[in-house]
Chain A
């Protein structure tokens, strides 16, 4: 075992290249894992089609050929992977439409929800996390801390349900008519953001508090450095865990999106995924998961690079 402090600190370029390669490798592994798991878990798709009355026994041979099921697994895997890289994600088992088209159709709805939620999350997390730490002796800080604690405690399923209930109750009693478009986007985004921001704010607060008690910070403070740059000094080392947490939360955002899309009756990728898995339309499910894994891995990689840029100590651990 080589202790961390004794490891050589690699230069920035090595770190970035290494991380990039690792990301690509991870993405490939995740995509392959998806392919395998679904192939095993979903059973024989042709048998499934048969039992659902969507194919007749005479179709079986033809279907197997069409879906490539008569090939050895390695061959199928290669077809899948090479197609994936080219953007061909196969065809839906039922509608026979290209999976990529189906995904692209549902993408805008989820994307607008996720982006808005992300924006709200950053704002809320910054307010709560920084506020709680920076003003930790004052009322504002206490409130911020309480808020983030509440945000962590309330699961998204409950927040979304309560939000919906409040909206409906106010509609009934006050008869507010809001523009449907704004409502179906703003509320779910706020709900998602509130649930996600709590954990980030908490970590941010903890990290900030810690760096605020570090010697270099106290020294800078004594030197009379301005408030703003003081804040930045304290933030910088506190950010790496926040950045990685952010990337982790992206996965959580996906789960949260399914829940909010369900509760607020919004179309999108989350609902598409649940539906396709439950229906056994495995090409769609496979394509979605594989894409999600790639996106997530790349964003994780980017986050790690950002963390390394922010704190040289992290680079040694790579």
Chain B
């Protein structure tokens, strides 16, 4: 579908921009280079922000920061959550129940508070935001992963393997994991989308620490104070975040789409 292609294109463009950012602009993302709040002009194609920094440059470097934070946070939740979910699904009922219960315990603490507890302990900063978003998403992905591995356990070839007396570990490695990987990959994309939402929201609330960091969520927050003078300070980072989330969700939900197309 066209939407999936567009989504793929967007992500590809973002990755390219992230990689080649310094080559695409002559300005620094932290130093003022023009009159504050000036509208788009030949020197500044997207204008300047409230401190006179080139907006295009800040958005550009924001790709790097925002994407890498989301990737790191998402990676944490997928790795830890995925592993725990698999263990939980394959384990005896008792261990499964205990693990699920522990996940529920963590889930009952609102994600934002978990973040703030970490902020109180570790101080504000990008690392804390990544950790908070990542750890906060572990129980959620653990549930998803557990459900996935439980469903896989129902598949016929697994039944067959069990019927001929194969050991659980062998079943896990030889049959479940290879079949899980494509499904996990798809689910991971959606997980990345949520990680991205969380890191941008936490930055928006000011937990990222250094205010000069060109993270899109933080830029959205700072732009709020000037939304009547220069709405682009809010609209541009906001739509950048939104398109990225949309792209990730589109790619991640492709399993739903495919079945629908059938």
Contact = CB atoms under 8 A, between A and B. Distances in A.
> A–B direct touch, CB within 8 Å, in complex?
yes
Given A165-B231, A165-B234, A255 B245 contact: no
B214 interface: no
A296 interface: yes
Interface of B: 90-93, 101-102, 104-113, 116-121, 140, 150, 153-154, 159, 162, 168, 171, 197, 200-201, 204-205, 217, 220-221, 224, 227-228, 231, 234-235, 238-239, 241-243, 245-246, 249-250, 253, 256, 259-260
Given A149-B246, A155-B200, A155-B242, A161 B108 contact: no
Contacts of A27: 108
Nearest to A276: B116
A29 interface: yes
Given A154-B242, A255-B201, A280-B120, 5 more contacts: A3-B154, A289-B113, A292-B113, A293-B108, A293-B109
Given A1-B91, A3-B153, A168-B228, A40 B201 contact: no
A162 B238 contact: yes
Contacts of B221: 157
Interface in A84-113: none
Nearest to A154: B242
Interface residues of A, number: 63
User: Secondary structure of the B side of the interface?
Assistant: helix
Given A165-B231, A168-B227, A263-B224, A274 B205 contact: yes
B205 A258 contact: yes
B112 A255 contact: yes
25 contacts: A1-B153, A2-B93, A3-B159, A3-B162, A30-B105, A33-B106, A152-B246, A153-B246, A154-B245, A155-B197, A157-B204, A157-B217, A157-B220, A161-B220, A162-B235, A168-B228, A252-B111, A254-B111, A259-B204, A273-B116, A292-B108, A293-B108, A293-B110, A297-B104, A300-B108
A29 B118 CA distance: 19
B245 A155 contact: yes
A274 B256 contact: no
A202 interface: yes
A191 interface: no
B227 A161 contact: yes
Interface in A1-17: 1-5, 7
Given A158-B241, A161-B234, A26 B101 contact: yes
Interface of A: 1-5, 7, 22, 25-27, 29-30, 33-34, 37-38, 40-42, 136, 149-150, 152-158, 161-162, 164-165, 168-169, 172, 202, 206, 209-210, 248, 251-252, 254-255, 258-259, 262-263, 270, 273-274, 277-278, 280, 285, 289, 292-293, 296-297, 300, 317
Nearest to B159: A3
Contacts of B217: 157
Contact of A4 (B107, B108, B154): B154
Given A1-B153, A157-B217, A255-B201, A41 B101 contact: no
A87 to B, nearest CB: 20
Contacts of A165: 227-228, 231, 234
Nearest to B228: A168
Given A251-B107, A259-B205, A317 B150 contact: yes
Contacts of B245: 152-155
B101 A158 contact: no
A40 B204 CA distance: 26
Contacts of A154: 242, 245
A135 to B, nearest CB: 13
Given A40-B121, A165-B231, A259-B204, A251 B260 contact: no
